Amino acid sequence: MRLPLALLALIALGAAAGGAGREAGKVALAGRFSTPEQHRCNWELRPGAEASELWLSCRPAGGGATRSCAYRGEPQRCPAYGARSRQYWRQILGRLRRRRHPCARGSPLSARLCGPGRAPPEAQLRLMQGHGPATTPPAATAEPSRDPAETYCAERWHSLCSFFVGFWEG
């Protein structure tokens, strides 16, 4: 009985350590979040050579009309972005999660890494003109991931989460 338990522990430790060697700057390109007003939003990141776009598609909890929008900026102009791009996008998505209506006009989005005085204004993400309720980005039409590990676990824990989800599901 001890051997299977020890083997399980070794596999779990190996899976957790396996994520440490991954590329540090790798950023998720799509995902989901909910706002304080219970809007369910899908997001998709489209990094570009000069400017990056963040597409959102949000649906109210009651099932109203989907509202879509896009933010555009040049995060590469921020000196800290090159080494900590993953942290940059986490901070941007955190700001969007706290907004009651992410597609409503408001102040530009900026990460704490690239706040005032640390980066030029072009590094901020601004809501793009012409993207209203009728615009639907591909993230809203694409089938969301069915793998619970990708949805609910941080990227570096995917292998461990997948193992336990597979074990639980049989």
Both tokens assigned to 26: 């790798």
pLDDT in tens, 21-76: 334 445 568 899 888 888 899 999 988 878 899 999 999 888 788 899 999 999 89
- Residue 79 confidence (pLDDT) above 80: yes
Mean pLDDT of the chain: 75
Q: How far is CA 100 from CA 104, 138, 144, in A?
A: 9, 23, 23
**Total residue length of the chain:** 170
Q: What confidence score (pLDDT) does residue 161 get?
A: 74
Both tokens assigned to 20: 């440490």
Q: What confidence score (pLDDT) does residue 55 get?
A: 94
- Residue 100 confidence (pLDDT) above 80: yes
Q: What confidence score (pLDDT) does residue 29 get?
A: 86
Q: What confidence score (pLDDT) does residue 21 get?
A: 37
* Cα–Cα nearest to 92, from 63, 60, 126: 126
Contacts 24+ apart (CB under 8 A), 16-21: 16/157, 16/159, 16/160, 18/159, 19/155, 19/156, 19/157, 19/158, 19/159, 20/156
Going 29 to 35 to 41 to 47, the CA torsion angle's sign is negative
pLDDT in tens, 125-142: 999 876 544 444 444 444
* Cα–Cα nearest to 55, from 15, 10, 96: 96
Q: What confidence score (pLDDT) does residue 142 get?
A: 43
The C-alpha atoms of residue 76 and residue 86 are separated, in whole angstroms, by 12
- Residue 106 confidence (pLDDT) above 70: yes
Angle at 129 between CA 43 and CA 87, to 5 degrees: 35
The C-alpha atoms of residue 121 and residue 75 are separated, in whole angstroms, by 10
Both tokens assigned to 31: 């995902």
Both tokens assigned to 133: 């309720």
Both tokens assigned to 42: 């899908």
Lowest mean pLDDT segment, chosen from 41-50, 85-94, 100-109, 151-160: 151-160
- Residue 15 confidence (pLDDT) above 70: no
- Looking at residues 89-102, what average pLDDT do you find? 89
